[in-house]
Structure 1
Amino acid sequence: MQTWPVQDAKARFSEFLEKCLTEGPQMVTRRGVEAAVLVPAEEWRRLQTAARPTLKDLLLSSEARAELPIPARGNARRRPPVAFR
């Protein structure tokens, strides 16, 4: 993975993008510290789908699924039930 200072990435963006598409992800640094990575769109989509479990995976998971935070009920009064005739 090639590293680009942010100034070079901005000044030579077309080259930066072309390298990403032909050679793979490109690292951008700001003041010598890694700041971002430019990846091809197809690889980004693949990473996004791999990071997210599918509904099928969630339903078949052995982990507890019922531990949802349930908000406390307020002090509002309920309406009386309506009688049907």
Structure 2
Amino acid sequence: MKELQLRDAKATLSAVIDQAVAGEPTVITRHGRKEAVLLSFEEWQRISRVPDFADLLLAFPGQPEDIPERTRKPARALRDTSL
């Protein structure tokens, strides 16, 4: 990943964006400290997406028989309600 000082990133912003779209993110530094990352919108969407439960189930690498069978017993009472 490429690093650029903020002033250089400002001066060449169009080229930095073109590189990000091409798949090369850039770390922006200010006073020698890493402050931000410029990456493509598509890459940002990919890494910031939180999968829903259905996506996780569909991505499960095992077989259906690897999942333990669900018990059919009713849950036990947490306290005696006849008190």
Q: TM-score, normalising length from structure 1?
A: 0.57
Question: What residue number does 1:14 align with?
Answer: 14
In structure 2, runs of 5+ residues without a counterpart are 57-83
Runs of 4+ off more than 4 Å:
none
Q: C-alpha separation between the residues in 1 aligned to 2:23 and 2:14?
A: 14
Match of 1:32 in 2: 32
Q: What's the CA shift for 1:45?
A: 0.6
Amino-acid identity (%) = 33
**What letter is aligned with 2:21?**
L
Structure 2 distance, partners of 1:22, 1:42, is: 11
Tell me by how many angstroms 1:23 deviates: 4.0
Distance in 2 (CA, whole Å) between partners of 1:17 and 1:53 is 27
Compared with structure 1, are the counterparts of its residues 23 and 54 closer, same or farther at alpha carbon in structure 2 (3 Å cutoff)? closer
Structure 2 Cα separation of the partners of residues 16 and 53 of structure 1: 30
**Does structure 1 retain, via aligned residues, the 8 Å contact 2:29–2:36?**
yes
Backbone CA RMSD of aligned residues: 1.5
Deviation at 1:22, TM superposition (A): 1.8
Say whether residues 1:54 and 2:52 are aligned partners: yes
Distance (whole Å) between structure 1 residues aligned to residue 44 and residue 25 of structure 2? 10
Residue 41 of structure 1, CA deviation: 0.8
Tell me, which stretches of 5 or more residues in structure 1 are unaligned?
A: 58-85
